[in-house]
Chains A and B, each alone.
Chain A
Amino acid sequence: DIVMTQSPDSLAVSLGERATINCKSSQSVLYSSNNKNYLAWYQQKPGQPPKLLIYWASTRESGVPDRFSGSGSGTDFTLTISSLQAEDVAVYYCHQYYNIPLTFGPGTKVDIK
Chain B
Amino acid sequence: QVQLVQSGAEVRKPGASVKVSCKASGYTFTGYFINWVRQAPGQGPEWMGWINPNSGGTNYAQNFQGRVTMTRDTSITTAYMELSSLRSDDTAVYYCAKSGRDCSNTNCYSYFDLWGRGTLVTVSS
Choose among B59, B109, B110, B115 the residue that contacts A51 (Cβ–Cβ < 8 A).
B115
A40 with B111: CB separation less than 8 A:
yes
Q: Which of B44, B115, B118 is the one whose CB lies under 8 Å from A104?
A: B44
Q: Mark B24-38, 1 if CB is under 8 A from A, else 0.
A: 000000000001000
Tell me whether B113 and A61 are in contact (CB under 8 A): yes
Q: Is B45 an interface residue when CB atoms closer than 8 A count as contact? A: yes
CB-CB under 8 A from A105, the residues of chain B are 44
In the bound complex, CA of A43 to CA of B113 (Å): 12
B-contacting residues, A50-88, CB 8 Å: 50-52, 55, 61
Chain B residue nearest in CB terms to A93 = B44
- Judging by beta carbons under 8 Å apart, are A50 and B115 in contact? yes
Chain B residue numbers with a CB within 8 Å of A49 are: 95, 97, 115-118
The answer on a CB contact under 8 Å between B47 and A102 is: yes
> Whole-angstrom distance between the alpha carbons of A102 and B97 in the complex?
13
Q: List 26 A-B contacts (CB under 8 A).
A: A38-B109, A42-B112, A48-B117, A49-B97, A49-B115, A49-B116, A49-B117, A49-B118, A50-B95, A50-B115, A51-B115, A52-B100, A52-B111, A52-B113, A55-B113, A95-B45, A98-B109, A100-B61, A101-B62, A102-B47, A102-B109, A103-B47, A104-B44, A104-B45, A104-B46, A105-B44
Query: Lowest 3 A-B CB distances belong to which pairs?
Result: A49-B115, A40-B111, A55-B111
New A-B contacts (18) at CB < 8 Å, excluding given A61-B113, A101-B47: A40-B111, A49-B116, A49-B117, A50-B95, A50-B112, A52-B112, A52-B113, A55-B111, A55-B113, A97-B110, A100-B109, A101-B61, A101-B62, A102-B109, A103-B47, A104-B44, A104-B45, A104-B47
